[in-house]
């Protein structure tokens, strides 16, 4: 079972949309007060749906990132939700200095660029330093 930031529960190929609908209703009041924001073909605010921003916390492997993006994109298309893929090339805010932080900026951005090209989605990542 996976939990995506309280938005919905997925088990195998089953989606429990009633949980998504509850969250959607909670956000509806906020969305209605927003001024519209447009990012190419995605618009939110002024009564539009919020984009679903999701992905692995940190890029562990190219294969995992591609499989995750493919699955999330398919789910969002079925639910007619705008999708923005998010994953970090460097997860600097770990609680242990021994935790895996990612593959670094060069390899990480190369993988995120490949995700954008392969799946045609917007990509979002963390920035930790001004120099990045």
| Tens-digit pLDDT profile for residues 50-105 | 788 999 989 999 999 999 999 999 999 998 888 999 999 887 776 777 777 888 88
Local confidence band at 28 (pLDDT 50, 70, 90 cut-offs) = low
3-class state of residue 18 by DSSP:
helix
At 98 the pLDDT is 78
pLDDT value at 2 more than 60: no
Q: Report the predicted TM-score, pTM, of the whole model to 2 decimal places.
A: 0.70
Regarding predicted confidence, which is higher, 11 or 113?
Answer: 113
List the one residue out of 101, 122, 117 whose CA is nearest residue 55: 122
Instruction: Give the range among 8-12, 75-79, 105-109 with minimum mean pLDDT.
Output: 8-12
In whole angstroms, give the CA distance from residue 127 to residue 86: 12
Local confidence band at 6 (pLDDT 50, 70, 90 cut-offs) = very low
In whole angstroms, give the CA distance from residue 123 to residue 46: 23
Q: Could you tell me whether strands 37-39 and 52-54 are parallel, antiparallel, or unpaired per DSSP bridges?
A: unpaired
Neighbours of 83 (CB within 10 A): 21
At 115 the pLDDT is 97
- Residue whose tokens read 């591609």: 66
């Amino acid at each position: 079972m996976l939990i995506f930031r309280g938005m919905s529960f997925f088990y195998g190929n089953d989606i429990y949309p009633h949980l998504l609908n509850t969250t959607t209703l909670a956000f509806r009041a906020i969305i209605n007060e927003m001024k519209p924001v447009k990012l190419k073909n995605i618009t939110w605010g002024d009564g539009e749906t919020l984009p679903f921003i999701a992905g692995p916390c940190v890029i562990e492997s190219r294969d995992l990132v591609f499989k995750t993006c493919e699955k999330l994109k398919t789910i969002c298309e079925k639910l007619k939700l705008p999708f923005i893929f998010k994953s970090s090339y460097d997860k600097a805010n770990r609680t242990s200095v021994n935790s895996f932080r990612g593959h670094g900026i060069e390899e990480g951005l190369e993988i995120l660029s490949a995700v954008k090209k392969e799946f045609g989605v917007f990509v979002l990542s963390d920035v930790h330093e001004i120099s990045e």
